[in-house]
Amino acid sequence: MSEKSRREQRLNGSATPQNIAQEFADVVRHLMRAATSANPQDAVLKATIKMEYVAELLGRSEEAITWHRLFSDTAEVIQRRLPEVHAEDDYIQAAMCGVKYFTEYNCSDSAAVGRASQRLDDFKRAIKWAEEAREARIGKIRRRK
């Protein structure tokens, strides 16, 4: 079997809705990195390369995939990657609040200012809770010694 045939076979086998959502999740992650970077070019390049692959997979998929399904499946893929319950959950929750604030801060609709203000309050509160939980864990460990 030639290299081209193996590549075709690999691409066709990867053109499932679940795999496409997994690949598109990487595009979203690269774009999030680009949006929060002082020098976004590397992340933009990675997102571009990955999106070209996603487009190729979409074209090969035997099953029609709507944008709604792709976006819904991708959000699910990202959410599944969230950690199981452990000590850093509070920081993950704070980071998620920070992403919500960042997103609303960048919106241009007329209600965005109000939403951004609320999200900033949520973010500050989440950071405070994460720090308090961390201090409580440290205090518990020190008391055991």
* pLDDT of res. 44: 97
pLDDT higher than 90, residue 13: no
Report the C-alpha gap between 68 and 71 in whole angstroms: 5
pLDDT higher than 70, residue 83: no
Section 118-133 average pLDDT: 94
Domain boundaries defined on the chain: 1-81, 85-145
Q: Of 84, 69, 95, which is closest to residue 61 (Cα–Cα)?
A: 69
Section 19-29 average pLDDT: 96
pLDDT, tens digit, for every residue of 29-66? Answer: 999 999 999 999 999 999 999 999 999 999 999 999 99
Report the C-alpha gap between 54 and 32 in whole angstroms: 17
